[in-house]
Amino acid sequence: MFRKYSRQISAVVLCFFTWTSGGVFSIANAAQIEAKKAKLQQVEKKPEGSEERFAKATEEVEDILGDKKEDLQTKKGRLRTKKAEIEALDVEVRKQFAETEKKLKDAKLPPEILERHRKFVKHYDDNLAELKGNLDIIEKAKDKAEADTGMEKAHQHLEKTKAPSRHQKLDPNNLPHRQPKVIKREPRMKKEEFEKDLKKDKHAWKNQMRIMLASAGSTAGLLTPDDLAETIEVQLTPEIRAKALELGNNPVKIYEWVRNNIEFVPTWGSIQGAQMTMQTKQGNAFDTSSLLIALLRTAGIHARYVTGTVELPIEKIMNWAGGFSDPMAALDFMSSGGIPTKGLVANGKIVAARFEHVWVEAFIDYIPSRGAKHKQGQGDTWIRLDPSYKQYNYSQGIDIKTAVPFDAQSFLTQIQSGATINETQGYVTGVNSLLVQQTMQDYQTRVQNYIQQNYPNATVGDVLGKKEIVKKEYPYLLGTLPYRTAVKGATFAAVPDTLRHKLSFYVKKETVDITAYDPDAPLPTDTSLNISKNLAELAGKKITLSYSPATPQDEAVINSFLPTPHADGSPIQPSELPSQLPAYLINVKPELRIDGQVVATGAPVGLGGTNIFTITFSDPSYGASQITNYIDAGVYQAIGLNLGRISQEQLTALKSKLETTKTKLQNSDFSGMMKDDLVGDLLYTTALAYHAELGTMNYITARTMNVNAITVPSETIFATKLRVAMFFGIPRFVSTGGLNMDADYLMQVVKAKDGNNDTAKQYMLSSGMTSSALEHSVPEQLFSTPENQAQAISTVKALKIANDQGIPIYTINQQNVSALMPQLQLDQQTKEDISNAVNAGKVVTVSKTNINFNGWVGCGYIITNPETCAGAYMINGAMNGGLLQRAMVAELMHYLAIAAAAGDSGLEMYSVLYSSGELQKGFYCVLVGISKYEANKIVVDKLDTLWVRVSTEFLKKLSFALLGMQMKDYTTSKDLNNFVETIVNVIEELV
């Protein structure tokens, strides 16, 4: 029986591990959190207003009509009660309408706004009359047939006026946390094939033709301004200029610095550009070439890209790609990153590899000094330089798992004995979370004591092992490439568009027939927000999607609901701000900003209406991948990109910018300030911190598990949420609904160094669990104050809470889906997602019922691919992420939402909010949180971490990884294999 249900147990245990690993919870502060919990629960949920209750009542009528289990008389009774409730609420709603109309007139708003109000009231009157009429038919029906006719009529009416579903169905074959689908390509062996890349780019092709003429004997066009120009990738930023100057503008020193400091990443196509490559100190052949070209052009040296196919001995490939011990694993790793690669076989063994590559040519004063005494403007020879190819020295870390063994069998037996396993109904619950947490803390203490006693001066590199570039330094340029060139392909001054990674943003209205509500409405036109950028243009930049009033009239409506200055000059109090806004009176337009500048605007939509937001990643190797979300018009979203690594400079720059904004608010200085400087920065900082911490934990996990893992372009959205109350399909009002983290596109390329696919799968599961845990723990860390511990929810935390509340946890697959699906007491959309996933061969871990966590009612569920361990970590509403509830940070979130809706005018309100203390809390939280990341370099820069002294936080993560590995090595019982392997994956996730 234990073997049969071991996966259910392990799923719960693994959630405890990841939930605990987030950094907010520990045994030491458990009592403190429990003490605060009582205070937290004293925060009363704001009672619903009459309009919100009215909207809910109409929804409940539809639920009653759709209930097929109830008999006719019971339904009639419930509908009668609900009708009476609606009629009573109608009186209050009409009072609200009258008050709103008076407010609009007093504010002397344009006739257009009053007309919107009139049309909405008429829409309400007409639909309420129809609803009540249908309910009367049901009530007066003399028989079942007549009642059924009335109920069908009522149902059709409510369906017609129902708001469109915002639920985005999950694609079980493209789970958010996954590896790219590999499209293996063989390297090209003809120059003409490479030139096809250029022919699609007219500018690049003209440059190639000039080069071809020069090679044929003509000097015309040998040197062109393009070889010194800035491009999308080659931006001569102040940092690039400073580095070139530091290196004396000397081509020998410039080449050696790039070659000896930038770590190679086996991916294909331009991703980061020169500036971000210098910051992250890693990049593929395109990005590293871009950095070298930028530094050379800054020094006045003509430089260009070259593509071709080259050959290397397999031993060199294995070292270069990441220290592989298995030749096929190394080749698969490169081809999975998009590089066209082919193994060369002799006598039944792989002896070499042929692959496409990119390097640099620079016009150097080569004769006679070979570039050592280069004089600007006196170049005589195009010299080949490859800054990305290098070899590494790998050193093993401390063998702690042997020195600090762990009794895995005893631990597993204790877990088993304390859990409730119901074989008949197929569930597990009651796993002892305190035991799991205490076990991890005890083991961490043992590891810490061992290192302090035996390696008191250990660095992170000593513990994990080091990967160090074998530096090459010569007094001149060699002028040759360190490998055989099978074919030299194309040469170009700027990367062709076909070899660039791109990101597109598309925001359109939900396709709703508005004429059903307003026959006089004009026919819709396609004015969607639609823009595409190269990733190198976006590298390191803040991207936000927000909404502003569509017209001055809309802005006037918002302003009419905001408090006016006091006659006596006393400050406006936060309590004077409105708790909600009349959505039907306000139109807003979506705006996409890059570093605060609006770059695209979409069609106006009613506040609280539905927009469909699609992000598309385009990759030269993999093609296009789309992420689509249904969003409420009026939210504020920050899109955090991870193009491979989050640099220390990114977080430091964000912290500096937040401190500047804080100072300006303190001094009531609004010059040059926009809402994106406040709302956008707070949200973007959180999204970027998420990527930074996830990257670090993945890095340590990979090193511990002997796996190579690289992040390919990924995104996470951190955003405000709205609560929208609908009256017969049209938003009546909106209020704030908290914050949510949605990590819906996390892509990695993963290979075990020894080629063991099971290890790569274990890593993916571990990484997925980590990604879920951080969706609640990062916002909690950044938005908590010493007085108030913020609380958020995520998938793994929801499952942990469900277990603690005694709710059964099911693991559903194709063998048991028929028996277990009827047991789930969840909403229909969630059940449909689960059913679709299982039918597609996926495995789902889910609680039987919803949990209630500080007012949030819902469930968390995990969908995994058993073949790859790709996953989706969901909470209700098809959200692949976590939610920071409004109740936890109510006032701050409310003010941010109001400020965002008000647009960039009236910035004095920010000063009011800041002086009230609420925004001070927000800045305090985020600045303290960023300081933690800044102070602990292990979170943001893995190269620097090798030389950092080990910290308690690092030892905690390392201990969890070692604990998992020793459980795997120690246990041999076949009955426990599945259980152990799954737990191991997630314990290691803590790294």
Query: Is 779 part of any domain?
Result: yes
Contact 729, 163 (CB under 8 A): yes
In tens, the pLDDT along 386-431 reads 999 999 999 988 887 788 887 776 777 787 777 777 766 667 777 7
My answer on whether 133 and 274 are in the same domain is no
My answer on whether 513 and 366 are in the same domain is no
pLDDT (average), residues 982-988: 35
My answer on whether 132 and 196 are in the same domain is no
My answer on whether 156 and 214 are in the same domain is no
pLDDT (average), residues 607-622: 93
Percent of residues, the chain, with pLDDT higher than 70: 78
Average pLDDT of the chain, as a whole number = 81
Strand, coil or helix: 626: strand
Q: Which residue has the tokens 């639909």?
A: 127
Q: Give the pLDDT score at 169.
A: 83
In tens, the pLDDT along 741-772 reads 999 999 999 999 999 998 999 889 889 988 99
Instruction: Tell me the backbone φ, ψ of residue 388, rounded to 5 degrees.
Output: -95, -25
> Structural domain of residue 616, as residue ranges?
500-791+885-948
Q: Give the pLDDT score at 322.
A: 96
Contact 330, 324 (CB under 8 A): yes
In tens, the pLDDT along 817-851 reads 999 999 999 988 899 999 999 999 999 999 999 99
Query: Is 20 part of any domain?
Result: no
Query: Is 850 part of any domain?
Result: no
My answer on whether 760 and 686 are in the same domain is yes
Instruction: Specify the pTM.
Output: 0.89
Contact 464, 700 (CB under 8 A): yes
For residue 800, is pLDDT > 90?
A: no
Q: Is 248 left (phi over 0), alpha (psi -120 to 50) or beta?
A: left
In tens, the pLDDT along 485-513 reads 999 999 999 999 999 999 999 999 875 44
Residue 430: which of 443, 440, 417, 411 has the closest Cα? 417
Strand, coil or helix: 923: helix
Q: Give the pLDDT score at 7.
A: 46
My answer on whether 210 and 275 are in the same domain is yes
Q: Give the pLDDT score at 760.
A: 93
My answer on whether 253 and 282 are in the same domain is yes
Residue 625: CA count within 13 A, CB half-sphere: 24
Query: Is 892 part of any domain?
Result: yes
Distance of alpha carbon 828 from alpha carbon 819, whole angstroms: 17
Residue type, 214: A
In tens, the pLDDT along 777-786 reads 888 887 776 6
Strand, coil or helix: 592: strand
My answer on whether 611 and 484 are in the same domain is no
For residue 368, say if its preceding peptide bond is cis, omega within 30 degrees of 0.
yes
Rounded to 5°, angle at Cα 682 from 679 and 688: 130
In tens, the pLDDT along 150-197 reads 899 999 999 888 877 777 788 999 999 999 988 889 999 999 999 887
Percent of residues, the chain, with pLDDT higher than 90: 47
Residue 219: which of 208, 209, 211 has the closest Cα? 211
List the single range of 130-144, 163-177, 221-235 with lowest mean pLDDT. Answer: 163-177
My answer on whether 487 and 568 are in the same domain is no
Q: Give the pLDDT score at 389.
A: 98
Query: Is 418 part of any domain?
Result: no
Q: Give the pLDDT score at 598.
A: 95
For residue 48, is pLDDT > 60?
A: yes
Query: Is 516 part of any domain?
Result: yes
My answer on whether 490 and 551 are in the same domain is no
- E strand spans, 282-438: 282-283, 303-313, 341-346, 349-364, 381-385, 392-396, 420-422, 427-429
pLDDT (average), residues 451-476: 88
Residue 653: which of 540, 805, 493, 801 has the closest Cα? 540
Q: Give the pLDDT score at 132.
A: 93
**Number of domains making up the chain:** 3
Query: Is 665 part of any domain?
Result: yes
Contact 470, 391 (CB under 8 A): yes
Tokens of 93: 């709603």
My answer on whether 553 and 489 are in the same domain is no
Distance of alpha carbon 185 from alpha carbon 594, whole angstroms: 35
Q: Do you know the residue count of the chain?
A: 991
My answer on whether 235 and 281 are in the same domain is yes
For residue 574, is pLDDT > 90?
A: no
CATH number of the domain within which 299 lies: 3.10.620
Query: Is 838 part of any domain?
Result: no
